Structure 1
């Protein structure tokens, strides 16, 4: 039978060990968890995040919606009518990304190129790539916009030249040509023979995604922080096309933000920055609402009316308005990206001019902006894991009446931003990756509870151990004689 002394020792030994381990680990578990998380997420050739970042394993789809102008005849007849459009699509493409030409740098950054492929998915599409779409001819609109400050006599000569090859401002082609295959235009062929012209079109065809399928260098070189020296900078773009600035002036020209694939853990920041090479600048998405995706709680960030503002509502964004170049800048809600689109009068907005100034949709019939058209990003806060993305933008062409170029000046309004197409790049985390994230989150949340439970059990074991010890002490005090026999005999002998 185990003696009380041994029982007390066992209870107190195990109890004290559990209390110490539990209490110490409760304090140190959060930094231990963050340390392990950083080890997995900091980009290196042997980190868990590397393979996921280099070739996105989550299915991605690009949905393209083209706008077809339905009242061309009335416009050409000179009737004072509002431009009418009908949305066609979506034409859906499976999208794959691969980071290539990787260069690891000494300053905790990596330089890479983005190779992207798109494959048409007819079963997910509404329509065929052979569908014909009629809209304005971007080449004519670009020539007119480029010559808007030239004298009328030169412009009349250019107008006559354009009429040799084009009957009017409008162009009809199938969806495939508008998107990836490209459209032949003799004006482009002729412009290639005269390199000193003010128009610089580095392509032999026109198409919204022409030459992009499989191209390594179309998006340009990116220089991104790996998070090694500063984990909070993980995924942030430091340079694009070997520069830390774009065509925009001031703060608007800074290269900053994530491309959307890698994020350091976000702890409820009011806004996040996304760098979008297609528009040569960054977008600021504001905290919108809490969401739940695949059983994981996260926060959704979304565009608001500050996106594509140019100083009208938010003075600090006036750097997106270049009055020297543009004269009176257009109202907010559409970003002039002509400087990074070879001088073409391209403007980017949210689909259907969502959140834009009423000036734009007032000139167009057939638009129906809804909250579903908004640019959205959902993140899990403690791991920085993207849960869902709906990257949505609309490309518009400005048709501005220019003196002397009558071929271009047929729309009722002298300044019309014509919606050409909009796209949605959409992805959502898969059950497989959601399960991994849930496991990491369980470790973060449940381990401290387990350690607290361990501490409580240790305290519970300590209590009986202490009680047994006190009982032994009290019992030994009660049974021990005040004077022992040896002490009495010694006292008697001493007296004699």
Structure 2
């Protein structure tokens, strides 16, 4: 009777162990589904969600570091046609995007939300090598602009009348944010106007009807596409503004985002995983093909607006913003990284390196939030030979001349990182622990009961 009772108990234990294992196995997909639904719910841009709370907040500090190119031999260039020699001056650091989005207007009927992004810059002396009053010898923007926009004899007369040259000496603050130019009789600056202006308006999808569309841009400045480039493809507005992406990021697929500074969409490719304050992030990097010549990347043919300057559209590494900005400004990566070799070789003092000059995003894959990023761009202008303009008579060839390069960075702060780990990953870990604990206990109980049952049954047979 006792043995029968024990055997029955062992059989029950086997059944219970099996049931616990099954429960643990069921919880694996069920748990993943629970997590997915919870993340998707919190990712929708509507009142009460985590995404909405982050959307309306200022966010982590964003800094723009500037390195200006100080010309060391301006007279030698003008009088003898020598190669320009430059030295980097920087960083001069400003805090930007310190104001929250404004005019936030949900549009429930089409599952979008509109907003404006205020622009402003506050100088950070402790993060800079000097003051905004430091002097730098830089390319004269009025002369460079006039070279493309004005008849040569008019520009020559203006240069002589105002006693200016191909290069000018200005303070860092003037060059970045604006000064009164004697030739054009207007305010010029690398980033003028900036303070007190707005980027947008943007209208982005909330993800309410389709989470795969969350944060993707529907319209920018009221349009679903831009109109500056030579094809429908290049005028497309793809992806988000790079601050966030739809949840559950796939490392096998590129991330698309729109960069308003250059009025075009770009993509970033996965290059590896990193640890950021205890959080695993996927690093996505701007590929070298982004600014490749149309010879290497035919998709870029629609960005080639001047076959003469670009050597019949074979020049790599530079984007002509003339169609967008209305002035002959060219964007590249710092020091002409990934550009045609002759661009950097035309200027002494340049040395492009992947480590210091590439653009990247570090994205948390479950939520799709960008937790760290570095956007690196260089602003350039063009000048070339002229038989009329005195300061250009010694110039031998077209020169895309660097003015300044910037590194715009942002990184999640410690408090937010701890909140993400606490609210998201701790719950995921707890659920995972429960799943495997149940499976482990169930398997252990099942095996022990089976072994004990077999031993006891065999012993009973020999009694």
Name whichever of 344-353 and 232-241 sits farther off: 232-241
1:423-475 Cα distance to aligned partner (Å, 9 max, x none):
001122222222233342354355234213214434555678899999999xx
Using the TM superposition, give the Cα deviation of residue 187 of structure 1 relative to its aligned residue in structure 2, in angstroms: 3.7
Note if contact 1:309-1:335 (Cα within 8 Å) is conserved in structure 2: no
The aligned residue for residue 314 of structure 1 is: 297
SS in 1 for 2:120: strand
Note if contact 1:169-1:410 (Cα within 8 Å) is conserved in structure 2: no
Note if contact 1:84-1:366 (Cα within 8 Å) is conserved in structure 2: yes
SS in 2 for 1:340: helix
The aligned length equals 450
| Closer/same/farther in 2, CA of residues 469 and 72 from structure 1, 3 Å limit | closer
The aligned residue for residue 398 of structure 1 is: 382
The aligned residue for residue 82 of structure 1 is: 83
The aligned residue for residue 361 of structure 1 is: 344
SS in 2 for 1:388: strand
- 1:232-271 equivalent positions in 2, closer than 5 A: 232-246=212-226, 247-250=228-231, 251-264=233-246, 265-271=248-254
- 1:48-87 equivalent positions in 2, closer than 5 A: 48-76=50-78, 78-87=79-88
Larger radius of gyration: 1
Note if contact 2:386-2:393 (Cα within 8 Å) is conserved in structure 1: no
The aligned residue for residue 179 of structure 2 is: 183
The aligned residue for residue 143 of structure 2 is: 140
Alpha-carbon distance in 2 for matches of 1:311, 1:461: 66
The aligned residue for residue 461 of structure 2 is: none
The aligned residue for residue 420 of structure 1 is: 403
The aligned residue for residue 460 of structure 2 is: none
Using the TM superposition, give the Cα deviation of residue 299 of structure 1 relative to its aligned residue in structure 2, in angstroms: 2.4
The aligned residue for residue 261 of structure 2 is: 278
Tell me, yes or no, if structure 1 residue 115 matches structure 2 residue 118.
Answer: yes
Alpha-carbon distance in 2 for matches of 1:207, 1:399: 17
The aligned residue for residue 124 of structure 1 is: 127
- 1:40-51 equivalent positions in 2, closer than 5 A: 40-51=42-53
The aligned residue for residue 435 of structure 1 is: 418
| Closer/same/farther in 2, CA of residues 463 and 362 from structure 1, 3 Å limit | closer
The aligned residue for residue 206 of structure 2 is: 226
Tell me, yes or no, if structure 1 residue 37 matches structure 2 residue 39.
Answer: yes
Alpha-carbon distance in 1 for matches of 2:314, 2:384: 12
Scaled by the length of structure 1, the TM-score of the pair is 0.81
Alpha-carbon distance in 1 for matches of 2:387, 2:44: 57
1:282-307 Cα distance to aligned partner (Å, 9 max, x none):
22222223322222222222223212
Note if contact 2:58-2:101 (Cα within 8 Å) is conserved in structure 1: no
Alpha-carbon distance in 2 for matches of 1:79, 1:471: 101
Alpha-carbon distance in 1 for matches of 2:7, 2:378: 80
- 1:359-398 equivalent positions in 2, closer than 5 A: 359-371=342-354, 372-398=356-382
Note if contact 1:310-1:319 (Cα within 8 Å) is conserved in structure 2: no
SS in 2 for 1:253: coil
Note if contact 2:65-2:92 (Cα within 8 Å) is conserved in structure 1: yes
Alpha-carbon distance in 2 for matches of 1:98, 1:307: 30
Note if contact 2:319-2:330 (Cα within 8 Å) is conserved in structure 1: yes
SS in 1 for 2:187: coil
Scaled by the length of structure 2, the TM-score of the pair is 0.87
Alpha-carbon distance in 2 for matches of 1:362, 1:467: 78
Tell me, yes or no, if structure 1 residue 305 matches structure 2 residue 277.
Answer: no
| Closer/same/farther in 2, CA of residues 407 and 240 from structure 1, 3 Å limit | farther
The aligned residue for residue 213 of structure 1 is: 195
The aligned residue for residue 293 of structure 1 is: 276
Note if contact 1:98-1:116 (Cα within 8 Å) is conserved in structure 2: no
SS in 2 for 1:299: strand
Using the TM superposition, give the Cα deviation of residue 326 of structure 1 relative to its aligned residue in structure 2, in angstroms: 6.7
Name whichever of 456-465 and 431-440 sits farther off: 456-465
SS in 1 for 2:68: strand
1:28-75 Cα distance to aligned partner (Å, 9 max, x none):
111211110111111112211223233333122110111111101212
Using the TM superposition, give the Cα deviation of residue 7 of structure 1 relative to its aligned residue in structure 2, in angstroms: 6.3
Using the TM superposition, give the Cα deviation of residue 82 of structure 1 relative to its aligned residue in structure 2, in angstroms: 0.5
